[in-house]
């Protein structure tokens, strides 16, 4: 009997999602109704309306064909004595488990009014607990993540390059379910939109989280650059949130991944036509055993051997236009009972 471990789920349906989006409720150019139409017309089934510092459910726009996830984006800044373009920032998306959730787990109304008074009507906002001072540090950000989780949210860390974040903070974060490996809005503002190395640094620091690709859409320039493919039994709110938390999805700028499994010592991949398919692990994975390209044309299938040093593996597919798709990291116990032949180095932090 073959020993087969399915890594990317092979049952259920695929749903295309943009998990970072802004509307006229904050600083976006489109109403929530217009946002739904823009994305539904392009084959999306899910949008998370992550307006700045205010949580507004859009359950009236949900039906059997489309979900609007109840969510919002939190802003934390450092270097506040500097002009805004020079400050380090941390932005986090909070996704509510309850689609009717209206209360946010913390707030700093003075800061929100200073930053977003021209965009947001905070009279709509509802808050839990006392007002808090947001602190830009790993400890301060972790406090916000913990409060979110306590009050029924899952949390994603956004656009690290645009935010000018550094490893002394992000290698100490805890409790995230995901980070943005690609952000369309970062690309159009001149920053590196695709940051797989930061994802690996977070994994090597001991975090277990998944990569998301998202538009961060405010207007037409940021439409349709990155998306997340979520695998779930149905387009039901709780099931989609559960699939997100479990990592039953992959991030993409274009390529599609049809299957990823481990069978009889081999990682097996099926995907849309690609220029290259490769595996990354926790160190330097031998490229001769980790890269598949076509001698002519494109490739749609690849097989790679398990290596003794694979503490985790993650898959990348690159299409002819140079666009990437990325799975989450799968850790060794998820695909084999054979122990690694190297020390566990997944605890590296900086600072």
Higher pLDDT, 133 or 130: 133
What are the two backbone dihedrals, phi and then psi, of residue 246, each rounded to the nearest 5 degrees?
-75, -20
Residue 348, SS3?
coil
**Are residues 244 and 251 in contact, defined by beta-carbon separation less than 8 angstroms?**
no
Please indicate, yes or no, whether residues 125 and 86 belong to a single structural domain of this protein.
yes
Q: Read off the CATH number of the domain in which 291 is found.
A: 2.60.40
> Is 213 domain-assigned?
yes
Please indicate, yes or no, whether residues 196 and 331 belong to a single structural domain of this protein.
no
* Per-residue pLDDT reduced to its tens digit, 210-257: 999 999 999 999 999 999 999 999 999 999 999 999 999 999 999 999
C-alpha 139/C-alpha 144 separation (Å) is 9
**Are residues 235 and 309 in contact, defined by beta-carbon separation less than 8 angstroms?**
no
What average pLDDT score do residues 260-275 get?
Answer: 97
The yes-or-no verdict on residue 34 having pLDDT over 70 is yes
- CA 278 to centroid of chain Cα atoms: 20
Please indicate, yes or no, whether residues 85 and 234 belong to a single structural domain of this protein.
yes
- DSSP alpha helix (H) spans, 117-195: 138-150, 167-170, 184-188
Please indicate, yes or no, whether residues 100 and 32 belong to a single structural domain of this protein.
yes
Q: Read off the CATH number of the domain in which 60 is found.
A: 3.20.20.140
* Per-residue pLDDT reduced to its tens digit, 145-162: 999 999 999 999 999 999
> Is 147 domain-assigned?
yes
Least confident of 15-19, 103-107, 292-296: 292-296
Please indicate, yes or no, whether residues 144 and 164 belong to a single structural domain of this protein.
yes
Number of domain units in the chain? 2
27 Cβ neighbours under 8 A, 6+ residues apart: 52, 116, 119, 218
* Per-residue pLDDT reduced to its tens digit, 335-351: 999 999 999 999 999 98
Please indicate, yes or no, whether residues 123 and 226 belong to a single structural domain of this protein.
yes
> Which residue range is the domain that position 66 belongs to?
11-252
Name the helix (H) or strand (E) containing 216: none
Residue 199, SS3?
helix
**Are residues 215 and 185 in contact, defined by beta-carbon separation less than 8 angstroms?**
yes
Please indicate, yes or no, whether residues 217 and 283 belong to a single structural domain of this protein.
no
Task: Supply 333's token pair.
Answer: 């116990």
C-alpha 265/C-alpha 309 separation (Å) is 14
**pLDDT score, position 116:** 84
C-alpha 135/C-alpha 133 separation (Å) is 6
Task: Supply 56's token pair.
Answer: 């507004």
Please indicate, yes or no, whether residues 125 and 168 belong to a single structural domain of this protein.
yes
Final residue of a structural domain among 202, 223, 252: 252
> Is 190 domain-assigned?
yes
> Is 345 domain-assigned?
no
> Is 3 domain-assigned?
no
Please indicate, yes or no, whether residues 225 and 166 belong to a single structural domain of this protein.
yes
């Amino acid at each position: 009997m073959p020993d087969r471990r399915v890594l990317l789920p092979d049952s259920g349906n695929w749903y295309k999602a943009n998990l970072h989006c802004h509307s006229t409720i904050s600083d976006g150019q489109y109403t929530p109704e217009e946002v739904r139409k823009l994305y539904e017309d392009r084959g999306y089934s899910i949008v998370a309306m992550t307006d700045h510092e205010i949580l507004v459910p859009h359950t009236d726009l949900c039906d059997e064909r489309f979900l609007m996830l109840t969510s919002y984006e939190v802003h934390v800044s450092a270097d506040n004595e500097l002009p805004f373009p020079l400050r380090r920032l941390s932005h986090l998306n909070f996704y509510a488990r309850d689609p009717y959730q209206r209360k946010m787990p913390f707030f700093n109304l003075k800061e929100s009014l200073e930053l977003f008074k021209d965009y947001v009507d905070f009279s709509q906002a509802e808050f839990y607990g006392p007002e808090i001072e947001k602190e830009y540090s790993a400890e301060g950000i972790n406090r916000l993540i913990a409060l979110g989780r306590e009050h029924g949210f899952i949390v994603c860390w956004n656009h690290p390059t645009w935010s000018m974040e550094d490893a002394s903070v992000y290698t100490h974060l805890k409790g995230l379910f995901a980070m943005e490996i690609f952000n369309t809005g970062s690309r159009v503002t001149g920053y590196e939109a695709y940051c797989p190395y930061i994802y690996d640094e977070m994994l090597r620091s001991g975090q277990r989280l998944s990569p998301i690709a998202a538009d961060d859409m405010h207007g037409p320039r940021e439409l349709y650059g990155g998306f997340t493919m979520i695998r779930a039994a149905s387009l039901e709110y709780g099931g989609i949130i559960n699939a997100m938390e479990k990592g039953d999805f992959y991030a993409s700028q274009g390529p599609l991944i049809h299957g990823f499994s481990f069978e009889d010592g081999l990682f097996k991949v099926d995907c849309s036509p690609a220029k290259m398919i490769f595996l990354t692990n926790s160190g330097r994975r031998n490229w001769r055993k980790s890269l598949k390209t076509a001698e002519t044309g494109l490739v749609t299938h690849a097989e790679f051997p398990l290596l003794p040093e694979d503490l985790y593996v993650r898959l990348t597919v690159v299409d002819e236009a140079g666009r990437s798709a990325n799975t989450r990291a799968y850790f060794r116990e998820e695909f084999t009972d054979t122990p690694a032949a190297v020390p566990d180095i997944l605890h590296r932090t900086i600072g």
